[in-house]
Structure 1
Amino acid sequence: MASQYLQDEHADADIKLYDTQDNAYLDLTSGRVRGMMSDKVTGTDWLKTEAGSGYEIKGQEISSDDDAMGIAFRKGDPLVAKFNAALAELKDNGTYDQITGSYFGTSSTAAAQKSSRD
């Protein structure tokens, strides 16, 4: 999703794609790139590390219907219905938002840039 968004919205930018998230972080911390895109969970987690401590989230959150997560079950598993019901209840009563806010925060990792480069 990130690469397609960048190609569509910032075609004039020099876009570099990476085979691993770690390689992207290495280029960011070494100064070979000025910013990067990451998914929210991974990026927020990295910002809490020593390597990520000098960086921050910039820009608006970018999302689409395609960036949802899923959980795999065996076909026909009766647990699916129970899981879906429990998840719906958590969303309805606000617990889901409370949990995701607590663990993942509310800010985006659409672009993490070194603070001094603003």
Structure 2
Amino acid sequence: MKGDFAETIRALPDFYPANGASVEDIKSAEQKLGLTFSSEYREYLEAFGDASANGHELTGISESIRINVVSVTEAERLRNPGVPTNLYVVEQARVDRIAIWQDEHGAIFQTMPGSKPEKVCESLSEYIAS
């Protein structure tokens, strides 16, 4: 349901949003990565652009390459060449070089360098609330 993820993240402690991203910027990011974002991630991008909450610093449409979904995903693809190209990074955990990925259906996966993606959650909402 539209608005669910935005409400979930907005209600978390230490919520710090940026400004929402335009539909054009979101489509451009998808084209650069050669994939489609999940509806949940698109909702998040439109509402906030990027944000942090509950100890998570999520990627997004940002001028900062450190949290820009395109630059972070491209860098993680180099570290993890076996990761399917339909996944994009939603968070770099900053511990053991763990990357958190999402697919176009919303499922969340985790990798460490050289490892195969392991499914850890059904959605970004579930992941961010954990």
TM-score, scaled to structure 1? 0.26
Larger relative helix fraction: 1
Higher relative contact order (CA 8 A, sep 6+): 1
Larger radius of gyration: 1
Larger relative strand fraction: 2
